[in-house]
Structure 1
């Protein structure tokens, strides 16, 4: 009798031990899945730039005197300095879990400073700084400072095929600070609604007015398309900025990709509209060619880039050679404007500028 009782107790003990071990293991596995993971990523970039028919130096001799001039360059963001120059160091620290997490995106260097141009000098290293809450598979909230949802191109040179940037990107918003809600309707359709500070006021709201954003997206295995809207007063005046933007890109074959960006922006008669196509072909596992062909038109009574009612056509041909984590990008660019806006070596004005850029981008 004692032996039978001991045997039953033994198996009961073993069963309890197994179940306890299984439960503990399952709890540890669940905790492991829910524990946020820390990651550090980013990029470093440098470049060489020269003009074929424009002024390449900032100091010239005029009438025997040394005079400071502005080297000829497209009126777009970032890669406009002559000679050897550097872009930025980008460090992205993230602590991300299934439900909650944060991203701190820091930038150091001229490209980063230009991207956060409305920040105070002491704080102009913060490109993005936000927390998120993934409520469920269909809803995610993001609170803080995040890069814009409009446009085809982005601030990071590692995420763009072309090294120099387009006019539409350069004069659209760079970043927003506010609250946005991302929706997933099904496997293909997504949406977004946001309330934000005026565009590029990333630290705080200096004027007490807010902007509103919206996005409708569709994606599948071949590509994606996003319709973006931005509306809100950007200054103390009652004039509101309105921008509508379409961004799309599709893999038409295994080696050929075609992207498109078209946008329209207006603030009481001041603004622009434009369109650009981005065909890209992969010639090998390590080398590809990409073209950006852009048309950019400024408002008749409110042009702020080259002048009222000016139009610009820009062609940028970029090669992308990849060696491990290093991307080498040789780039030819031709900008043609309806007015004489570029300074030549003879200190004359011309309506076109041909330039060359050789960039190196290391992403990690």
Structure 2
């Protein structure tokens, strides 16, 4: 199947919600007052390498022979003191209807909307929704991806830097989706979307299919995610399957896990990461991301075909009201010499430190 625009699939997507609403008995919902909300965050950070370059290096002819390096993952990659993004989220919700307008400015926000058609785009998310009943909700517009463990917002991630799996999976989708509540524990989602990360419009006339099956209880949740479809002309369809799960194992200990597989005509990647976190006091928590990332033999998006990457990221979270301070140590080890050390010699590893400050409101 080359495209996702045939009539049988479209009929399936839009007739399934109707069949569910006629087969499930829904209780009378209580009317609620319309609610308008404003939230968001700002973030800034300091970053330095322990065994790599932190500034441009020049030879006697004033030619650049070395540049500051960072792991080839998204965000928090600039040397010295740097800024992330300012994020304002406007929301409105009535008994049945609502919208979200999520706006960003700054380097992190620019990276998050990098495939937008407009050079000054500031839209991270922009969508409207209609809640038919407790079992069914429709959403149309642009929303952040449902795949993966991590997200764009630095306030919602425990680690400040991001994983390879997050960085090379989708960031956002524009389209229409239907969210289902099957019962108190099981949920589902079906979507038809533009090519990944094209925020404002569809430049190719191609569409992708997205799906999710979720389970949650008082201790945690697990989500199986799927995306399939052509992302560019004259390209094979991209297939990605992803499992994300997280559980509170005790009042103080939390464990998250993410694994994913992405391929387009034999090129792509797969990986897995664990996220153990421990709450040491009311204001401080310590967490680790341990990630294995493997690019496929026919090609990969980061360092090259058949290259293996491992990163260990240890992050502290100190909260004081709306302020979050995140000191972070990160070690990236690659199966090829992709970095340059402080002596300008090739090396297969990079160790770095980030101190981030985030204010969420």
Q: What TM-score comes out, normalization by structure 1 length?
A: 0.89
Compute the displacement of 1:326 (Å). 0.4
Q: Distance in 1 between matches of 2:33 and 2:218?
A: 30
Compute the displacement of 1:122 (Å). 4.1
Matched, 1:323 2:320: yes
Write the deviation string for residues 123-156 of structure 1: whole angstroms up to 9, x where unpaired. 4200000000000000000000000000000000
Contact 1:40 1:92 in 2 (8 A): yes
Compute the displacement of 1:70 (Å). 2.9
Matched, 1:155 2:152: yes
Compute the displacement of 1:69 (Å). 4.0
SS at match of 2:167: helix
Q: Which residue of 2 aligns with 1:25?
A: none
Uncovered stretches (5+) of structure 1, i.e. residues with no partner: 1-31
Contact 2:58 2:66 in 1 (8 A): no
Matched, 1:39 2:37: yes
Write the deviation string for residues 52-101 of structure 1: whole angstroms up to 9, x where unpaired. 000111x2221342427431110000110000001000000011112101
Q: What TM-score comes out, normalization by structure 2 length?
A: 0.90
Q: Distance in 1 between matches of 2:343 and 2:120?
A: 41
Matched, 1:241 2:241: no
1:190-229 → structure 2 map (5 Å cutoff): 190-229=187-226
Q: Which residue of 1 aligns with 2:352?
A: 355
Contact 1:276 1:293 in 2 (8 A): yes
Q: Distance in 2 between matches of 1:315 and 1:323?
A: 26
Q: Distance in 2 between matches of 1:145 and 1:35?
A: 26
- RMSD between aligned alpha carbons? 1.2
Compute the displacement of 1:344 (Å). 1.6
SS at match of 1:114: helix
Higher helix share: 1
Compute the displacement of 1:112 (Å). 0.2
SS at match of 1:164: coil
Q: Which residue of 1 aligns with 2:162?
A: 165
Contact 2:135 2:181 in 1 (8 A): yes
Uncovered stretches (5+) of structure 2, i.e. residues with no partner: 1-29
Instruction: State how many pairs are aligned.
Output: 332
Write the deviation string for residues 235-270 of structure 1: whole angstroms up to 9, x where unpaired. 101400000000000000000000000000000011
Contact 2:59 2:65 in 1 (8 A): no
Q: Which residue of 2 aligns with 1:4?
A: none
SS at match of 1:157: coil
SS at match of 1:158: coil
